[in-house]
């Protein structure tokens, strides 16, 4: 192999805070992930219909009644290509058998904004602590689909996650997984919603069930008990739910990607016990894996301890399953509550570096302005201190096979191997508007503002390095 060239993209350091070059209204749709490619290190990555490798990056837009058109436009203007849109069954079907027209119209509006500004969207069927009966507002499963056998629920104001272990919530999950009528009603809801949304250009698929949980047989404070219960759930009840929901959506939509989530124990380094899933669509399967990437101590309010081995343990825990089943990994949620703290700043750096080695895309939690509170932007609309690596340049579409990427001290470096797509295909790079390009490739700015690079003299197997420097 030969090193063909190094391309230096010179840009002002101040422009690293935003990547757009033209108004987002002029943007075309980000490339669609129509298939996958498996690279030599075992990762399965998204690919478009030209064979280019796609890197989907963006943010969650939570509580979609609070999301504005300006938010969606700003996400595109910062160079991102993906949003994960949280929806809830309780909101959309407050009365059994009828979708709420206002809530459906609102969801259609948000996806319409994604259409307009060139983003791709994953719809997330969200829940926290089952549903609104247990203090979650309208987040999760509707009250009419909640059965808890009259068992008690005592909330802990200092630990919302402890609600999952309350007897009422444990019973509610068991009924959801086991009762034939609840299974049918849930599947019917997924089918009807997929029928309503399938016309959107932006829609690439569905995250089938946010942070799944279920019955725990024994003391949940015992890590061994919790791990055993999680594995039993994933092999049995949860796998059965995913098969039902995959089948339900496929009756009306054979185009979308369908993403399965493991339990949250993956964040503690526990590998998933999920089985593989068969996609009934004609042609290649469109099933993906959507774990979350959270540190439990950081979620509890601590600053991250870089010596705790979390990132290494997490990476080891999530890689075997998608490699065995050739699934692209889309990290649906990640990020600390406050990236300004020194440990959390390092956590963001290590997480973004780790995801470049195992993920086909990610959506950070989440897009808002504020001081801490997970907000990716500060009150001034600039990247929150500590979140700079999140806003680094990256290749949205790569005509080649990725080898590695790195962002350090304001410099972004991408190394890839030339393949059959490289000489004739355009690599698209999200980079600041003042970027200029020197070197040997053909270079142009498309009307979306992204830099496009082509290497007409590249030979298959050549190693190419791109560097974006301040």
Instruction: Give tens-digit pLDDT for 112-139.
Output: 999 999 999 999 999 999 999 998 778 8
pLDDT at 2 over 60: no
The Cα–Cα gap between 451 and 463 comes to 20
The Cα–Cα gap between 242 and 234 comes to 10
Instruction: Give the tens place of pLDDT for each residue, 262-298.
Output: 999 998 899 999 999 999 999 999 999 999 999 999 9
Mean pLDDT confidence for 324-343: 97
pLDDT of residue 10: 44
Identify the band that residue 440 occupies on the pLDDT scale cut at 50, 70 and 90. Answer: low
> Chain-centre distance of CA 242, in angstroms?
18
pLDDT of residue 463: 94
Mean pLDDT confidence for 219-245: 96
Q: What is the pTM of this model?
A: 0.94
Please indicate, yes or no, whether residues 366 and 452 belong to a single structural domain of this protein: no
Please indicate, yes or no, whether residues 18 and 34 belong to a single structural domain of this protein: yes
The more confident residue out of 21 and 160 is: 160
Bridge partners (DSSP) listed for residue 445: 451
Please indicate, yes or no, whether residues 159 and 18 belong to a single structural domain of this protein: no
Q: How many CB atoms lie within 10 A of CB 71?
A: 18
Q: Which residue from 422, 398, 370 is spatially nearest to 43, judged by alpha carbons?
A: 398
pLDDT of residue 17: 37
Q: Which residue from 211, 259, 222 is spatially nearest to 82, judged by alpha carbons?
A: 259
pLDDT of residue 470: 64
Please indicate, yes or no, whether residues 378 and 445 belong to a single structural domain of this protein: no
pLDDT at 316 over 70: yes
What percentage of residues in the chain have a pLDDT greater than 90? 80
Lowest-pLDDT range, 83-87, 211-215, 424-428, 446-450? 446-450
Instruction: Give the tens place of pLDDT for each residue, 343-359.
Output: 999 999 999 999 999 99
Half-sphere exposure of 173 (CA within 13 A, CB side): 22
Identify the band that residue 190 occupies on the pLDDT scale cut at 50, 70 and 90. Answer: very high
The Cα–Cα gap between 200 and 113 comes to 10
pLDDT at 373 over 50: yes
Total number of domains constituting the chain = 2
Please indicate, yes or no, whether residues 110 and 245 belong to a single structural domain of this protein: yes
Please indicate, yes or no, whether residues 343 and 459 belong to a single structural domain of this protein: no
Edge-to-edge strands, sheet with 82-87: 287-289, 257-260, 203-207, 120-125, 82-87, 56-61, 361-364, 330-331
pLDDT of residue 254: 97
pLDDT at 9 over 80: no
pLDDT at 251 over 90: yes
Instruction: Give the tens place of pLDDT for each residue, 451-465.
Output: 888 998 899 999 998
Please indicate, yes or no, whether residues 169 and 142 belong to a single structural domain of this protein: yes
Task: Tell me the C-alpha to C-alpha distance, in Å, between residue 102 and each of 88, 93, 95.
Answer: 14, 11, 13
The Cα–Cα gap between 422 and 375 comes to 37
Please indicate, yes or no, whether residues 292 and 436 belong to a single structural domain of this protein: no
Residue 182 sits in which domain range?
A: 55-392
pLDDT at 22 over 50: no
Identify the band that residue 372 occupies on the pLDDT scale cut at 50, 70 and 90. Answer: confident
Q: Give the alpha-carbon dihedral of 60, 61, 63, 68, to 10 degrees.
A: 170
pLDDT of residue 13: 33
Please indicate, yes or no, whether residues 429 and 414 belong to a single structural domain of this protein: yes
Full DSSP string of 346-405: HHHHHHHHHHHHH-SEEEES---BSSSTT-SB-TTSSBPTT-GGGGS-EEEEESSEEEEE
| CATH number of residue 1's parent domain | 2.60.40.1180
Q: Which residue from 125, 19, 62 is spatially nearest to 375, judged by alpha carbons?
A: 62
Full DSSP string of 20-82: -SS-GGGPPPPPP--EEEE-TTS-EEEE-TTSPEE-EEEEEE-STTS--HHHHHHHHHTT--E
Question: Which of 377, 392, 407 is at the close of a domain?
Answer: 392
What percentage of residues in the chain have a pLDDT greater than 70? 91
| CATH number of residue 317's parent domain | 3.20.20.80
pLDDT of residue 437: 53
Element (H, E) at 345: helix 342-358
The DSSP call for residue 460 is T
Mean pLDDT confidence for 163-186: 97
Q: Give me the residue label for tokens 């005509």.
A: 399
Mean pLDDT confidence for 33-61: 97
Nearest 5°: phi and psi at 57?
A: -135, 145
pLDDT at 225 over 90: yes
The Cα–Cα gap between 179 and 172 comes to 10
Q: Which residues contact 20 (CB under 8 A, 6 or more apart)?
A: 76, 77, 78, 79, 433, 449
Q: Give me the residue label for tokens 């540190």.
A: 295
Lowest-pLDDT range, 20-24, 60-64, 192-196? 20-24
Identify the band that residue 16 occupies on the pLDDT scale cut at 50, 70 and 90. Answer: very low
Please indicate, yes or no, whether residues 213 and 243 belong to a single structural domain of this protein: yes
Please indicate, yes or no, whether residues 355 and 441 belong to a single structural domain of this protein: no
Identify the band that residue 14 occupies on the pLDDT scale cut at 50, 70 and 90. Answer: very low
Identify the band that residue 435 occupies on the pLDDT scale cut at 50, 70 and 90. Answer: low
Please indicate, yes or no, whether residues 398 and 386 belong to a single structural domain of this protein: no
pLDDT at 15 over 90: no
Backbone CA torsion sign across 136, 142, 148, 149: positive
Nearest 5°: phi and psi at 321?
A: -60, -55
Mean pLDDT confidence for 300-318: 95
Question: Helix (H, G, I), strand (E, B), or coil: what is residue 261?
Answer: coil
pLDDT of residue 442: 75
Length of the chain equals: 470
Structure tokens given for 5: 């060239």
Instruction: Give the tens place of pLDDT for each residue, 78-121.
Output: 999 999 999 999 999 999 999 999 999 999 999 999 999 999 99
Q: How many CB atoms lie within 10 A of CB 221?
A: 8
């Amino acid at each position: 192999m030969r090193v063909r060239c190094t391309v230096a993209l010179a840009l002002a350091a101040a422009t690293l805070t935003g990547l757009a070059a033209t108004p987002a209204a002029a943007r075309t749709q980000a490339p669609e992930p129509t298939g996958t490619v498996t690279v030599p290190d075992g990762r399965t990555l998204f690919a478009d219909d030209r064979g280019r490798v796609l890197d989907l990056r963006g943010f969650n837009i939570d509580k979609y009644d609070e999301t504005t058109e300006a938010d969606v436009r700003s996400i595109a203007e910062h160079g991102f290509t993906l949003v994960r849109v949280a929806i809830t069954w309780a909101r959309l079907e407050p009365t059994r058998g009828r979708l709420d027209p206002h809530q459906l119209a609102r969801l259609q509006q948000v996806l319409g904004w994604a259409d307009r500004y060139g983003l791709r969207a994953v719809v997330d069927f969200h829940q926290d602590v089952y549903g609104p009966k247990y203090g979650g507002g309208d987040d999760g499963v509707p009250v009419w689909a909640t059965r808890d056998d009259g068992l008690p629920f005592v909330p802990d104001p200092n630990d919302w996650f402890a609600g999952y272990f309350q007897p009422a919530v444990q019973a509610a999950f068991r009924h959801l997984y086991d009762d034939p009528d609840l299974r049918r009603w849930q599947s019917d809801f997924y089918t009807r919603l997929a029928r309503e949304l399938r016309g959107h250009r932006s829609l690439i698929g569905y995250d089938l069930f946010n942070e799944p949980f279920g019955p725990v047989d024994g003391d949940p404070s015992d890590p061994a008990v919790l791990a055993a219960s999680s594995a039993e759930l994933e092999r049995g009840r949860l796998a059965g739910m995913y098969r039902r929901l995959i089948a339900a959506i496929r009756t009306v939509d054979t185009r979308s990607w369908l993403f399965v989530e493991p339990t949250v124990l993956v964040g503690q380094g526990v590998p998933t016990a999920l089985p593989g899933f068969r996609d009934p669509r004609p042609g290649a399967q469109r099933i993906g894996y959507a774990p979350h990437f959270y540190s439990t101590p950081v979620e509890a309010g601590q600053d991250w301890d870089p010596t705790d081995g979390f990132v290494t343990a997490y990476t080891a825990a999530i890689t075997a399953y998608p490699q065995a089943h050739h699934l692209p990994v889309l990290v649906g949620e990640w990020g600390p509550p406050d990236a300004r703290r020194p440990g959390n700043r390092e956590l963001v750096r290590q997480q973004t570096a780790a995801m470049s080695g195992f993920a086909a895309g990610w959506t950070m939690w989440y897009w808002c302005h504020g001081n801490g509170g997970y907000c990716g932007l500060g009150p001034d609309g600039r990247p929150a201190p500590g979140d700079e690596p999140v806003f680094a340049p990256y290749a949205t579409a790569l005509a080649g096979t990725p080898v590695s990427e790195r962002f350090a001290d304001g410099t972004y470096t991408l190394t890839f191997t030339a393949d059959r797509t490289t000489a004739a295909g355009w690599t698209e790079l999200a980079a600041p508007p003042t970027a200029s390009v020197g070197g040997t490739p053909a270079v142009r700015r498309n009307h979306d503002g992204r830099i496009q690079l082509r290497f007409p003299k590249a030979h298959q197997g050549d190693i190419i390095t791109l560097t974006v420097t301040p």
